[in-house]
Structure 1
Amino acid sequence: MVIEDRPLERAVLQFIFPFAYKRGSDERLIPELLADRFVPFRLDDLSQEQAFYGPRYGVFHQALERYFMPYTCCILFPRSASDKNGFRRFAKTIGKACTLQTERGDMPFRLHAAEVIVCPFDLGFITLRIELEQPDLTYGEALEFADRFRVLQDVSAKDKRTSVLGSRGEFTQTEDFIFREIVRSLLPHLDNEVTEGAYFETLPFFIDERMYVQSLMQFKEEAAISDTDLFRALHLDGLDEAGEPYASAGNAEYMADYVNERRYDRWAPRTRYAMNENAFACLTLEREARFDRLASQLFGEHYYGVMMSLFHKIALLKLANQYSHLNVERDHRAVQRLIRQINAFSAKYYFSELAASVQGNEMFLQLRQIFGSHALFEDVKETLADLFRYQEDYQSKGQNNLLLILTLYTVVGGIYGMNQVIEDLKGDIDWSKLAAYSVFEYIALFITLTGLIVGIVLAVIVAIRWVSERRALRDE
């Protein structure tokens, strides 16, 4: 199948990398981000509308707030950086000219800004906003750039022939460029506990060696945007080894069927959207003001929709992963913590509707279906039901055992033991009387004293559990 390349007017890209940070590490991470010139994002600060998107583009905060439901805004736009229930967003304007070096030549790009978003459940996102500056840019070259740049660690021979040239020098891997030049304070806080010995893999339950790509590409020609164009955008099919444009499928009907399930054609034929697990693409023929509006949506409404969808999937996978590593017979505290986390996720974050507009809800529901979040959510709810059943059985068994012990001590100690030795334990105790005790009196004394010890120990255990549960709730 012959693929014809098309010239581009502009290509704007967002690369989103989800990560997991160490539990409680956000208290140290946030001051370090502020020291590294990252600025807390505030929806009521209108000076930030043009700050983090390049000199040409911007996001209108009032329109952004109206786009989402009120209960969603509380999570997406917290008023304080200390609000652990919200998405705490820290952005930095960069504006640096960088270069992606490949075996076929250099691909210049402008890094407009970078963001770190600290989310609940010890999760976060790094976002890079990039605009390609290559002269006579083609569609295949833009897709090739996205496909190469999104690879964090070199996993193929093609990746090993790619490097990033920044202001601090040349980096052979994209992850080095991110953590040594852009977000230098983050690396010590990444959670590598599960993948001990790995340098970067922080989400063993999620594909994290490549970043998620949001793209907005403006064609020069007025030719119709085809399903093949959308298919290539979703799979980031750029250039082959010979430098020719290609698609990773040769069957036009297959590509059309694949795109049909993942496209959003509300504004076709001049603007077409498509989305899958790797990319969210907007291809357009619009010009000037209309294109700037599409860029504003890319950086604003659609960015938050994609981020929330990614958060849903990763958080659900993390909860499922925790359950798979849980020993319910021994890790009783972990069981209770997981129950609280699942309840918190269901109540606060898994919204049935994200956006207030019809098109926003349609796109969000389509993303949720593509990511498979609803099926994961149903599995997690089943997990919650299993944990509740286990907890009820465990508590019932513990209460029955405790009741049995207390009943034995109450009956035997109260009726038998106290009547045998109680008189000798009043006032000043004459220990010499112990030598004249019979076997039954020794048994009664033992029951009496151990009963007191059991009562004290149980009171101490209850107090310790109460304090630990209060601390656990405060830490979460």
Structure 2
Amino acid sequence: MENEQPLLEEKKLKSALLQFIFPFSLHSDCQLKLKKQLTADGYIPFRLDHLELEDAFYGPGYRISHQSLERYYLPFTNSVIFPHEESKHGFQRYSKRLELICSLESPKWSFELHIHSVDVVLCPYDLGFITIRVELPCEDLAFTQALEVASRFRVLQNRNEHDKLVQLSVASSRFDEMEDFIFKVLVPGMLPFVDKTELEASYFEKLPFFVDECMYVQGLISFTDQSQIHEADCYRASKIDGMDDEGNAYISATNMDYIRKYLEGHLYDRWGPNTYYVSEESSFFCLTKESKEVSTALGNHMYGEYYYGVLINLFYKIVLLKLSNRYSHVQLDQNQEEIEDLIRSITTFSARYYFLEVISKSQGKELFVQLRHHLGIDELFGDVKKTLSDLYKYQETFRTKRSNYLLLILTIYTVISGIYGMNQVIEDLKAPIDWGKLKAYSIFEYIALGVTVSGICIAAGLGIATLYRLAKERKRAKAE
């Protein structure tokens, strides 16, 4: 049975903008020190009321309107992603303009890259993102080459022999792995703050939250006006299919029926045939053949509104994964404090951060929902909500058992000390105490005395423990 083959037609580009997003986990309570380190490294806080930053980080010709950016999202979302002051409950973005010219090289090809800027976004739940903004010079650049750059640059650690052949050159320095370039050149003071605790049990995995040790890619590919955007182009962008070993255009599927079925769930074609958006678990691309002016406006959206849409969805996904991971440890340890902390974390996330409606524009809503779907966020949230229900049931069962045991112990003490002890030794415990009478006690009187004194100690201990627990809960509530 013959299948229709995908059309791999090489196309010239007018512009190619790429943003590589690197999520990472932070050590607890280190954000204040990290902010000081970022400031020392030349990063500046991003604020919507600082209008001079509208064109500071995006390269020549690109600008995001802070006013439009604020209006794009609903007010309760803005309070999280654009807080008015330093707050650990919101996204804290620090940006640095670099204008760094690099070269990505292999034995068969070499491509120039312009790194305009880097963001470090600090988020609640000890989570952060590093975003690298890259523009590719398009004088002689083709679609396949742009995808190859995206495919290679996103690889943080070499996974196979092909990756080991690729190097990044910056001035007089060469880097075999992108992770080294990021932590030695872009954010040199970051590494001590990155938490890799969850990876201590693994043999080969070194970075959390990644598929195949690769960064998330958000990109705009602008074709020349005479180009025709084909289904195969959209599929290749979604899968970031660059070149094969011979340097020819590569596509990871050859059955057009399969490609069409795939695109039914991944392609947003509201502005077709000139502009398409395609999303996947590890990528979000805009392909367009519009004019230079329209293409620039689309680039502004990718740097602004759509960039934050990606960040919000990645934040949702990773926090939900972290909560699920904590639940697996809590199940094994059955530590009551950790269970209470996990319940509080899930409840806070649901109430303060997780919203079904975050965007005010219709097209933005549709793209946001598509991203949300391909990252599997709704399914993860359903699992976490079920986790919360299971935790409440376990906690209720535990408290019931503890109350029953405590009631049994107190009943025994009450009966023995109240009936037996009070009649046997209570008179001898009146001040002043004559300790010499203890020598004449019988075994039963010693038992009564022990029960009475231990009962008083247990009651005092329970009171102190209750006050300590209340003080600790109040301190946590203030911290949140």
CA distance in 1, matches of 2:443, 2:204: 68
Aligned to 1:359: 363
* TM-score normalised to structure 1 length: 0.96
* 1:18–1:208 Cα contact (<8 Å) kept: no
Aligned ranges for residues 23-422 of structure 1 at < 5 Å? 23-81=28-86, 83-133=87-137, 135-167=139-171, 169-196=173-200, 201-203=206-208, 206-207=210-211, 209-327=213-331, 330-422=334-426
8 Å CA contact 2:102–2:112 kept in 1: the answer is: yes
Could you report, residue by residue, the CA deviation over 1:128-166 in whole angstroms, capped at 9, with x for unpaired residues?
001002531100000000000000001111111111111
User: 1:191, 1:202 within 8 Å by CA — same for their partners in 2?
Assistant: no
Supply the distance in 2 between the matched residues of 1:288 and 1:90 (Cα, whole angstroms): 30
- How far apart, CA to CA, are the structure 2 residues paired with 1:92 and 1:244? 36
Per the TM alignment, residue 473 of structure 1 is displaced from its structure 2 partner at its CA by 4.2
CA distance in 2, matches of 1:117, 1:329: 33
Q: What one-letter code is carried by the residue in structure 2 that aligns with 1:385?
A: S
Structure 1 Cα separation of the partners of residues 286 and 459 of structure 2: 69
1:31 deviates by 0.9
| TM-score using structure 2 length | 0.95
* Partner residue, 1:15: 20
CA-based RMSD of the aligned residues comes to: 1.7
Contact 2:96-2:118 within 8 A present in 1 as well: yes
| Paired residue type of 2:326 | Q
Letter in 2 for 1:128: I
> How many Å apart are 1:99 and its aligned residue?
0.9
How far did 1:340 drift? 0.7
CA 1:372–1:330 in 2, change beyond 3 Å: closer, same or farther?
closer
Q: 1:364-412 CA distances to partner (integer Å, 9 max, x unpaired)? A: 1111111111111111100000000000111111112112222222232
Deviations 1:260-312 (A, max 9, x none): 21111111111111101121110111123211110110001100111111111
Match of 1:442 in 2: 446
d(CA) in 2 for partners of 1:3, 1:149: 23
- The DSSP-based 3-state class of the residue aligned with 1:325 is helix
Which runs of no fewer than 5 residues in structure 2 stay unpaired?
none
Q: 2 CA distance for matches of 1:276 and 1:209?
A: 16
How far apart, in 1, do the equivalents of 2:156 and 2:398 lie? 45
| Deviation at residue 200 of structure 1 after TM alignment | 7.6
Work out the CA distance in 2 between the residues paired with 1:115 and 1:457.
51
Counterpart Cα distance in 2 of 1:412 and 1:379: 49
Offset, 1:168: 5.8
Structure 2 CA distance for aligned equivalents of residues 465 and 389 of structure 1: 21
How far apart, CA to CA, are the structure 2 residues paired with 1:469 and 1:229?
55
2:214 is paired with a residue whose SS is: coil
- Asked whether the 8 Å contact 2:225–2:291 carries over to 1, the reply is no
Q: Structure 2 vs 1, CA of residues 329 and 240 (structure 1 numbering), >3 Å: closer, same or farther?
A: closer
Residue equivalent to 1:5:
10
Shift of residue 475 of structure 1? 5.0
Report how many aligned residue pairs link the two structures: 474
- Report which stretch shifted further, 442-451 or 138-147: 442-451
